[in-house]
Chains A and B, each alone.
Chain A
Amino acid sequence: MSGLLPLFVAGPLAAAIVLFLVKGRARLQEGLSLLALAANLALALALLRETAGGEIFIHRMGFWPFPYGILLAADRLAATMLCLSAAVVGASGLFACSYLSEDQRREVFHPLLHFLLMGIQGAFATGDIFNLFVFFEVMLMATYALLGFYHDLDQLEMALKYTCLNLIASAFFLVGVTMLYAQVGTVNMADLAVKVRAVGPTPMMALTALTFVSVFSVKAAIFPMHLWLPSAHSLSPTPVSAILAGVLVKVGVYAILRCATLIFPAPFQRIQTLLIGLAVVTILFGALGTLPQRNLKRILAYSTINQLGYIVFAIALLNPAGWAAAVFYAVGHAFLKSSLLLGAGLNQKLTGTVDLDEMGGLMTRAPFSTLLLLTGLLSLAGIPPLAGFFSKLFVLQAGFAQGAYLSTGIVLAAGILSLYYNFTTYQRLAWGTPRGEVGGAPAGMYASVAFLAAFAVVFGLGARWLHEWAQLVAAQLASPEPYIAAMRNAA
C-alpha cells in the first residue's frame, strides 16, 4: 500500500492532463472524468481499510533519506480525509455533468476539478510542512480558476478578494515556515515533532504556532479570517461551492489538527484559551450571520462558518475526546454541507432561483428534492437521529468533560440559533404561497444529492460505528510516537 500513496497525487494529475487534451469533446471528457473519480474513491477506500488496524504507510518521494526528502504518509486521519475528499469531489463531478451549460461543458471544468483534487489529496497525504504549502498553492490555483465564470462585478470582486487574501495567507505560511526553520532547521513533520518538543514551549515557538494557526484559519474560516467565505461559497458555481464547503475548509481544519497533535502540542497549550475564544465567536458570528439572508446558498455559507467554529472548538479542547468529536463533526459536516449545497443547486435548476423569497410551496410541487433538502436541514439543526445531532452531542460532551463550562455553555446556547435558522429556511422554502414555475432536472443531479444526503442518515443511525472510528483516529493522534518512528524508519 505504501507504494500506492503517490497515486493520490499522480492519479488526479494524469487525469487532469488527459482531460485537458480531450477538451471540447464534452461527453468523452465527462465519462473519463467520472471514471477517474470512481477509481480514486476505490483507492481511498482501500487505503482506509488498510489503515484500520493502526498501520502507518510511508512513501519516500525520490527515495531521499530521512529527513531531507519529502515523505507521503497515511495514518487513520489522513485515510479518513482522503476518503471524504474522494467521495465529495466525486459526487460534485457527477452533479456538474448535468449542472453546467452546453458552452461551459466544452470548457476546462473537469481538468481543473482534477487539479483541485490533486492539491487536496496532496495536502492530506504529505508529511512535510513545506510540501503542505506547495499543495495548498496547487489547490488554491485550481480554485482561483474554478471560482467563477466571472460574469458580473460581484463575482469579479469576490474572486479578487479571495485571491488577495489567500496570497497574503500564503506569504504568512512562508513566514511561519521560516520561523520554524530558523529555530529547528527542518521541515519534515516527524523531525519537527521531535525537535520542537526538545525546544519546549518558548514564547517564540508559541508565536510560530500562532502564525500557522492564523494561516490555517483563513482556510478554515475562523473569526476574524472568515470574511471571504460567504461570497466565495455563494457566488461560485454550485458544484464548486459544494467542494469548497465540504472539503476545502476541512483542509484547514486538518492542518490545525496536525499542528495541535503532532508538531506543536506544547505551544498549543499556551494559545488554547485564545483558540477556544475565537472558536466560540466564530460559532456565534456564523449563526447570527444567517438571520438576515434571503439567498439559500448564502445561508448555507454562514452556517458553514458556524459549524467550523464547533470543529475548531473541539480541537482546541486539546484532549482525545475533543479530537474524536472534531473528526466525527468534520466527516459528518463534509457530506452534509455538500449535499445541502448541491441540493440548493438542484433546487435552482428546478425553480431558477436561490432567493428564498421567490420560492415557496415546494413541498407539494417538488417533493423529492425538498425532502432531500429537509434531511440536510434537520441534520444541520441537530435533530436526532441524524448525524448533526451526534456531532454536536460529542462536542458538548467533550467540552463538559474537560470542565470548560462557560465556553461549552455558550456553544450549547448557540445551538438554539441554528435550530431557528434551519427551521425558518425550511419553512420559507417548503411551505407558503407557491411562486414561480417548477421545471425538471436530470437524474444525475438527484443521484449525487441523494448519495451525499444518505450519509446524514447513515452517520446518524450508525453514529456509534463512526464515533468508534473517530476515537481510533484520536487515539492514534494522541500518541504520535509510532507515526514519528514510521517516518524515521521508512524503507
Chain B
Amino acid sequence: MIWLLSITIGSLVAAGAYLVMQRRLIQLVLGLALLSHATNLMLVASGWIGDGRAPIVPGPGPVDPAGYVDPLPQAMVLTAIVISFAVTAFLLILALNIYQRFKTDDIDRLRRLMG
C-alpha cells in the first residue's frame, strides 16, 4: 500500500508544480493547495509501519503494537490540514479581491498594469 501512497504524493506534487507555473491566479491558488495536500500525505506516510493496520485497540488487555501504523503523524496532519485550509481561503479572497478590482486574473496582464 505504501507504493500507492508514494505514487499519489508524486502525482500531486507534479500537478501542483505545473499549476503554480501557469498564468492565472486561480491556478496558482489551486496548485499551492495541491502541494500542501501532497505534504500532508507525506506526513501520514512517515508513520507507516508494516502492513498499515488502523491504530485502534480492539479491546481490553495488552496489545502488540507491531503492524499498527503510528497514530502521532495522523494527529499532527489534522493540524496541518486545518492550517492549509485557512491559508488557501485567505489566498482565494486575495485573488478575488484582485480580480474584482482589476477585472483580470492573468498574472502577466497584472504585471503590465503595475508598470
Contacts and interface: CB of A to CB of B under 8 A. Distances in A.
Contact of A187 (B42, B76, B97): B76
Contacts of A181: 43, 46-47, 72-73
Interface string B21-36: 0000100100010011
B110 A171 contact: no
Given A137-B83, A150-B97, A156-B97, A178 B32 contact: no
Nearest to A175: B39
B36 A141 contact: no
A35 interface: no
A299 to B, nearest CB: 21
A178 B113 contact: no
A163 B98 CA distance: 14
B7 interface: no
B90 interface: yes
B57 to A, nearest CB: 16
Interface residues of B, number: 34
Given A156-B97, A181-B73, A171 B91 contact: no
A174 B86 contact: no
A215 to B, nearest CB: 12
B94 interface: yes
A480 B32 CA distance: 38
Interface string A154-189: 101101100110011011101101110110010100
B74 to A, nearest CB: 12
A167 B36 contact: yes
A170 B90 CA distance: 15
B76 A160 contact: no
A157 B114 contact: yes
A174 B97 contact: no
Given A153-B110, A167-B36, A174-B40, A144 B80 contact: no
A327 B105 CA distance: 44
B5 to A, nearest CB: 12
Contacts of A177: 43, 76
Given A156-B97, A157-B110, A175-B39, A141 B47 contact: no
A419 interface: no
A185 B70 contact: yes
Given A153-B110, A175-B39, A178-B42, 14 more contacts: A134-B83, A159-B94, A160-B98, A164-B32, A167-B32, A167-B87, A167-B91, A168-B35, A174-B36, A174-B39, A174-B40, A174-B42, A177-B43, A179-B46
15 contacts: A141-B86, A141-B90, A153-B114, A157-B114, A160-B95, A163-B91, A167-B84, A168-B32, A170-B84, A171-B39, A172-B39, A174-B36, A177-B43, A178-B42, A182-B46
